């Protein structure tokens, strides 16, 4: 399964990639903001998206809304520091399937990914 990780922090992308590889997901593509995320998504093969919210150029919320216009079914997990109730609701309304607040444990990421993949 190919997973797209969109985060402007290279350290955070490495942490997520590392966690994914420990739970068996090694096919990963990376984007550093919503705009590059859309480019990677356009290249095809992506079956799941993990995205940050606060990024330059195109933030995660705008990215999710754009993806949902083109692809209503792809599972999207938002991993962000935004912890306010209204933020979580806004992300869910935009089309995010699940939500993780940073900092997180690998177990949480695993639990959320598994719940998205059914």
Partner 1 sequence: MDQSEIDALLTGGGKSPKKAKPAAKAPAPEAVSAPPSPPVPVAQAEPHQDGSGHVISELDTVTSVTERESNKVMDQLDQISRLVSRQQQLITEIMSHEGAQAPGVQKAIHEVMSASKEIQDNVFEAMDLMQFQDITRQKLERIVHHLRQIHDYIVDLLGTGLKSDTERPSISHTIAQTGTTPDENKAHADAVIEAFKTQKKG
Q: Tell me which residues touch partner 1 (CB under 8 A).
A: 7-12, 14-15, 18-19, 22, 53-57, 59, 80-85, 87-89, 92, 98-106, 108
Q: Give 45 or 56: the residue with its C-beta nearer to partner 1.
A: 56
Q: What is the closest distance, in whole angstroms, from the C-beta atom of residue 55 to partner 1 in the complex?
A: 5
Q: What is the closest distance, in whole angstroms, from the C-beta atom of residue 3 to partner 1 in the complex?
A: 18
Segment holding 100, helix H or strand E: strand 98-101
Q: Give 18 or 71: the residue with its C-beta nearer to partner 1.
A: 18
Q: Give 43 or 89: the residue with its C-beta nearer to partner 1.
A: 89
Q: What is the closest distance, in whole angstroms, from the C-beta atom of residue 79 to partner 1 in the complex?
A: 10
Write b or e for each residue in 62-91: b if 16 or more Cβ atoms lie within 10 A of its Cβ, otherwise e.
Answer: bbbebbeeeeeebbbbbbbebeeeebbeeb
Beta carbons of 4 and 16 less than 8 angstroms apart: no
Alpha carbon 113 to its chain centroid, in Å, reads: 10
């Amino acid at each position: 399964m190919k997973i797209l990780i969109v985060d402007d922090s290279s350290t955070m992308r490495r942490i997520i990639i590392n966690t994914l590889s420990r739970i068996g997901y090694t096919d990963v593509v990376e984007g550093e903001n919503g705009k590059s995320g859309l480019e990677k998504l356009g290249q095809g093969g992506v079956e799941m998206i993990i995205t940050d919210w606060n990024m330059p150029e195109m933030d995660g919320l705008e990215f999710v809304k754009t993806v949902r216009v083109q692809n209503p079914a792809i599972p999207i997990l938002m991993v962000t520091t935004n912890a306010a109730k209204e933020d979580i609701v806004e992300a869910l309304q935009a089309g995010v399937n699940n939500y993780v607040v940073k900092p997180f444990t690998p177990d949480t990421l695993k639990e959320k990914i598994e719940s998205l993949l059914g």
